Amino acid sequence: MNRVSSTPPDWASLPRSTPGIAAPEAGPVYEFYRGRRVLVTGGLGFIGSNLARRLVELGADVVVVDSLAPDCGGNPFNLADMRDRLQVHIADVRDREAMDALVAGCQVVFNLAGQVSHLDSMVDPFNDLELNARGPLSLLEACRRHSPDAKVVYAGTRQCYGRPLYLPLDEAHPNRPTDVNGVNKLAGELFHLVYGTAYGLRTCSLRLTNTYGPRQLMRHSRQGFIAWFVRLAMEGRTIQVYGDGRQRRDLTYVDDVVDAFLRAGASDAADGRVFNLGGSEPIALVDLARLIVAIAGRGQVELVPWPENRRRIDVGDVYSSYAAIQQALGWQPTTPLAEGLARMIAYYRQHWQHYVP
Amino acid sequence: MNRVSSTPPDWASLPRSTPGIAAPEAGPVYEFYRGRRVLVTGGLGFIGSNLARRLVELGADVVVVDSLAPDCGGNPFNLADMRDRLQVHIADVRDREAMDALVAGCQVVFNLAGQVSHLDSMVDPFNDLELNARGPLSLLEACRRHSPDAKVVYAGTRQCYGRPLYLPLDEAHPNRPTDVNGVNKLAGELFHLVYGTAYGLRTCSLRLTNTYGPRQLMRHSRQGFIAWFVRLAMEGRTIQVYGDGRQRRDLTYVDDVVDAFLRAGASDAADGRVFNLGGSEPIALVDLARLIVAIAGRGQVELVPWPENRRRIDVGDVYSSYAAIQQALGWQPTTPLAEGLARMIAYYRQHWQHYVP
């Protein structure tokens, strides 16, 4: 079997994306996917579905698997208009027989299946362990046995760092997660690296920060605050921000995240590596809430005291350095925050009933 | 409920242990355990049983739980002569009802249950996940609900560091385990820290290096090389050392490890902390093998090429700095290597049939 990475592109010379446009149509990283069989786990979810759609546009042979686990981000509507252009399998990555069949013949695997709610991980830590530790391990076992030449790109999280000892967070920052989700996501990432070292699988991980954009779950508030803020504003309700609202975050628009996955999946320079993503200049949550209200043209912002269960797992100011992936893969975020939010809000205006019950 | 740590001892003033004697009988750390109810998970195993025996000597009300999981270190003989001086429950820490009952009323929990074989973790990574990640999480959930004031001390491992970037390893060294066991043991440790931060449980972890001594499993070779070397020598067989045998390790005699657990369990200064243990001056494996042969008076040493499955997960020279626990808890290893090995070999001469089938 040929290794898919035999002709790595020259990353430093790749054209930068134009702001507001997800990625250029040309360039070796995008040509790379034409005709290749690619698996996206968690592919009916927020980031997975945006990635799958982009892969279809690039001419890849796309296979999506998603378990539609309750309260996770899987939503069949996310790919409903693409049904005839890709395969969608409803299966759990922990289902050995299903995964053995699905990974066979895949040249790139984007491993995005998982549970992202920090709060849910504290309420049911065993479910989080199943979805975020056993899940990735199952996928890796399937790849080791049935697709040992595949490239595997994992969706990690900056949550593995915990409360920052310094800012911006770089990849050398100690891992001291503050919730069960952070521990399990870190374990999932480390399994990928172990399978790289021990079995020669070509694996890497992207540590995502706060991703936002179309197709994000907004049925409930437990999967990241951005979609919830957007929903509240669009409903004309009040966005409550905890404390003084000055805690700062960086945000990445989903098309930029998709671009990072595409680059990591196509490049040998990513093998065995862990890369932070990053985004806009860090913004205070109260300022973000006000920006969302301004763009939505509805809603209002209110400061409220910290609820105890959230205060205990909050991590204060958090933002990441993306210098390492910029150097290795030429990636950088390109979508200005106001523009990304405007596109997100426009999407939900059009498709509201598919995201809000 | 009173917090058991209301009168922390003055650690800096604690007497040092005398070489060859496990720990002084006097001193606040040892007085601390008199009459206290203490749970030891994995208490029929190597370190657990030595710890339980010492706790009985110190007057504690000792409860041992062990699942006697196949191929793990649990051996009923380890506590057979103590049956009327402590409680032994055969149960799995993942058994919620059993653990809810067992943790209730315990003031200190030593959480040593787990699977320690690196090779087994690669053969059956899911079993390792169950024993080393779900196991600790189950114990912590039981403590959170039924014994929230208990102190919980976890048996971590220096395996979480992976291939050393520098030596000696200190606690700030990045965590990049090279096998599934290292990932799961790290997750188990991080769960303890998360339950400390999120729920106020008083938790800490000791990162053990190569522990040796009486009551160690020697039925097979997959649980650390020291006991296996000792068995081969005592049987008059050949100890095969991989490569040139110059890879160096540090070793801790089990009584010194027990002393570290006792200090960590009794001290508020350990709460939320992770401490390396350490041992003798690092010794090359070939020199260790020769020392064992000399003390046993039997066996021989042979250098052989690396088997591929072991070479891939080997980590080269490894030894740890114990400066942090020395400063915080006054602990240091006190048993010279030759003396510890002599005591170990004397023990197995007397009880051989209970350890070698």
From chain A, the residues in CB contact with B193 under 8 A are: 176
Residue A51 in contact with partner chain B when CB distance is under 8 A:
no
Q: Residue A308: pLDDT above 70? A: yes
Q: Looking at the predicted structure, is the pLDDT value of residue A9 above 60?
A: no
Chain B residues touching A184 at Cβ < 8 A = 187
CA–CA separation, B182 vs B115, rounded Å? 11
Closest by Cα among B39, B41, B194, B56 to B103: B39
Cα A327 from Cα A325, distance rounded (Å): 5
Share of chain A above pLDDT 90, in %: 83
Which positions in chain A touch B184 (Cβ < 8 Å)? 187
CB contact under 8 A, A178 and B190: no
Contact (CB, 8 A) for A289 and A322 = no
Tens digits of residue pLDDT in A276-293: 999 978 999 999 999 999
Answer yes or no: is B237 within a domain. Answer: no
Q: Chain A contact for B181, CB < 8 A?
A: no
Decide if B172 touches A, using CB distance below 8 A: yes
Can you tell me whether residue B204 is helix, strand or coil?
Answer: strand
Predicted local confidence at residue B222, as pLDDT: 82
Candidates A129, A154, A273, A308, partner chain B, best to mutate (most B CBs within 10 A): A129
Q: Check A191 against B174: CB less than 8 A apart.
A: no
Tell me the residue range of the domain where A49 lies.
11-211+252-279+319-334
State the DSSP code for A318: B
**B12 reaches A (C-beta below 8 A):** no
Which residues on adjacent β-strands are paired with residue B252? Answer: B211
The lowest-confidence range among A21-30, A214-223, A347-356, B331-340 is A21-30
A177 neighbourhood in chain B, CB within 8 Å = 190, 194
pLDDT at A223: 80
The pLDDT of residue A168 is above 70: yes
For residue B129, the chain A residues in CB contact (below 8 A) are 129, 133-134, 137
User: What value, to the nearest 5°, has the Cα angle with vertex B143 and ends B329 and B161?
Assistant: 50
Residue A6 has pLDDT above 50, yes or no: no
Does some domain include residue A191? yes
Mean pLDDT by 10 residues, chain B (357 residues): 33 37 56 97 97 98 95 93 96 94 96 91 95 97 97 97 95 95 97 95 97 95 90 97 93 98 97 95 96 98 89 82 96 96 98 95
Alpha carbon of A46: minimum distance to chain B alpha carbons (Å) = 27
pLDDT at B14: 37
Q: Is B153 strand, coil or helix?
A: strand
Question: A247 is written with which tokens?
Answer: 């805690």
The confidence score (pLDDT) of residue A313 equals 64
All residues of chain B having their beta carbon less than 8 Å from the beta carbon of residue A183 are 187, 190-191, 194
Looking at the partner chain, which of B129, B175, B179 has a beta carbon nearest the beta carbon of A175? B175
Residue B245 lies inside a defined structural domain of this protein: no
- CA dist A188 to A131, A185, A194, B254, Å? 10, 5, 10, 32
The pLDDT of A228-252, averaged and rounded, is 96
Asked if residue A37 belongs to a domain, the reply is yes
CA distance B260 to B276: 10
Classify the C-alpha dihedral A299-A300-A303-A304 as positive or negative. negative
Could you tell me if B122 lies within 8 Å of chain A, comparing CB atoms?
Answer: yes
- What are the distances in angstroms from CA A84 to CA A44, A62, A288? 15, 11, 38
CB-nearest to B129 from A134, A183, A197 is A134
- Residue B265 within a domain: yes
B95 touches chain A (CB under 8 A): no
Q: Is the pLDDT at A13 greater than 80, yes or no?
A: no
Q: How many CB pairs under 8 A join A and B?
A: 82
Write down the pLDDT at residue A25: 41
pLDDT at residue A11, rounded to an integer: 34
B125 CB within 8 Å of a chain A CB: yes
Residue B140: give its domain's CATH number. 3.40.50.720
Q: Is A183 on the interface with B (CB under 8 A)?
A: yes
Check residue B326 and give its pLDDT: 96
Number of domains in chain B: 1
- Smallest CA–CA separation between B108 and chain A, in Å? 23
Q: Is residue A334 over pLDDT 90?
A: yes
| pLDDT tens string A121-154 | 999 999 999 999 999 999 999 999 999 999 999 9
Any domain includes A112? yes
**CB atoms B194 and A183 under 8 Å:** yes
Would A54 be classed as within a structural domain?
A: yes
Residue B18's pLDDT is 35
| CB-based contact B252:B209 (threshold 8 Å) | yes
Of the candidates B286, B292, B273, the one whose C-alpha atom is nearest the C-alpha of residue B241 is B286
Alpha carbon dihedral A286, A291, A296, A299, in 10-degree steps, equals 30
What is d(CA B270, CA B330) in angstroms, rounded to the nearest whole number?
A: 11
Provide the pLDDT for residue B17: 38
The answer to whether A178 contacts B186, with C-beta atoms less than 8 Å apart, is no
Whether B119 contacts chain A with CB within 8 A:
no
ipTM value of the model?
0.90
> Residue A184: closest CA among chain B residues belongs to which residue?
B187
For residues A117 and A204, the model is more confident at A204
Q: Say what percent of chain A tops pLDDT 70.
A: 92
Our CA dihedral for B173, B153, B324, B199, rounded to 10 degrees, sits at 80
How far does the CA of residue B161 sit from the closest CA of chain A (Å)? 12
Are B187 and A186 in contact (CB < 8 Å)? yes
Backbone angles phi, psi at B346, to 5 degrees: -60, -40
pLDDT of residue A12: 36
Answer whether residue B275 is part of any domain.
Answer: yes
